[in-house]
Amino acid sequence: MVTLPKASADSAPSAARRAIASWLFALAALVFAMVVLGGLTRLTHAGLAIVEWRPLTGMLPPLSQDDWQQAFAAYRQFPEYQKLNKGMSLADFKGIFWLEYLHRLLGRGIGLALVIPYGWFLWRGWIGRDLHARLAGLLALGALQGAIGWWMVTSGLVDHPDVSPYRLTVHLGLALCIYGYILWTALDVLRPPPEAPPGAGGPRQFAFALMALIGLVVLSGALVAGTDAGFGYNTFPLMDGRWFPDGAFLLQPWFVNFAENVALVQFNHRLLAILTLAAGTMVWLQLRRPLAECRATGRGTVLVLALFIQVGLGVATLLSVVWLPLAALHQAMAFLLFAAVLAVAHALPRSRP
């Protein structure tokens, strides 16, 4: 629960809560846009177009023909050009450069959208100690995410012209944590969770479990993207005519298959998606019981509909051999789905000791 300082006017706390919550929801929307744009850079192989990390001076794009030639020359020194894009024209380079540039620029914009209103709310005296601690933690997470983004990019600038699926998974996973952190804080500011009688709170625990499962599906999706597993086994529900694909444990040691073997990575993502759909349906049925909290019941209906849509998008993306619009929509829907289950969990009464 988030507390705000008391104000002299009775309406001030309510106005402060609405203002701070609106700001946090806007921040979450920017993080969502960042994830969607990041997915597009990944799908279009634009993520390695900028081979330097300049947090401050990198805010300006190339401004002259000489600047463009220098940026293109730097790109040509690395494996993506030498192994995949040999002979690319400057015009084609500009196409992938702008996408990655916008991705990085949006990241800087999110930093400003966090720091400037944060300072203003502090100056107004609207931020109490507990909210101040949360927002300071958010600043630290944002800085860490920028560093991890560059750490991910460097893995594609060595020998293999692609980023490490492990680092990609860490990067997307932290983005999901930041997104959920902001949304939960905004909901706390707007309306603290209700309290249940002692011993109650079972549905809330199931909602948290479902949230964790959806997070796991998102991480498995990052591995699918990182290994390009979506471009193989483009049938459903069978994989090359089998329920369980051949060659799922070809790599040694055996445990690396879970992150690097295309067949097993895609199978796990399918399996987790189906388990999530079943678990989400069970939570929805539980929320429809007479004793369920009404706000959570409505949000649960949105959640289960989003689950069915997301599974349908996943199947369509697979059958289309990762058609760009479907793939981007599938990733975006994953974050909307996470927001839906988070809203359900927040609306459910929290148990008291």
For 285-321, the pLDDT digits (tens) are 888 765 455 567 778 888 899 999 999 999 999 999 9
User: Could you give the CA distance from residue 278 to residue 210 in angstroms, rounded to a whole number?
Assistant: 10
Tokens of 236: 């459903």
Q: Average pLDDT, stretch 318-337? A: 94
SS3 content of the chain, % helix, strand, coil (to 5): 70, 0, 30
Q: What is the model's pLDDT at position 201?
A: 54
End-to-end CA distance of the chain: 16
Mean pLDDT score of the chain: 87
Q: What is the model's pLDDT at position 158?
A: 81
Closest listed residue to residue 265, CA positions, set 226, 316, 223? 223
- Chain centre distance of CA 351: 29
Please give the C-alpha separations between residue 311 and each of 5, 258, 300, in angstroms, as whole numbers.
44, 21, 17
What's the predicted TM-score (pTM) here? Answer: 0.90
- Which residue shows structure tokens 């914009």? 109
Please give the C-alpha separations between residue 2 and each of 181, 190, 222, in angstroms, as whole numbers.
13, 9, 33
Handedness of CA 317, 323, 326, 328 (dihedral sign): positive
- In degrees, rounded to 5, the angle at the alpha carbon of residue 264 between the alpha carbons of residues 262 and 266 is 65
- In degrees, rounded to 5, the angle at the alpha carbon of residue 316 between the alpha carbons of residues 311 and 319 is 125
User: Could you give the CA distance from residue 114 to residue 107 in angstroms, rounded to a whole number?
Assistant: 11
Lowest-confidence region among 94-98, 194-198, 307-311, 338-342: 194-198
Residue 8, pLDDT > 50, answer no
Q: What is the model's pLDDT at position 22?
A: 94
Report residue 57's pLDDT band, with 50, 70 and 90 as the boundaries: low
Angle between helices 129-154 and 165-190 (to 10 degrees): 160
Q: What is the model's pLDDT at position 45?
A: 84
Q: Average pLDDT, stretch 210-229? A: 94
258's enclosing H/E stretch is: helix 257-260
User: Could you give the CA distance from residue 25 to residue 33 in angstroms, rounded to a whole number?
Assistant: 12
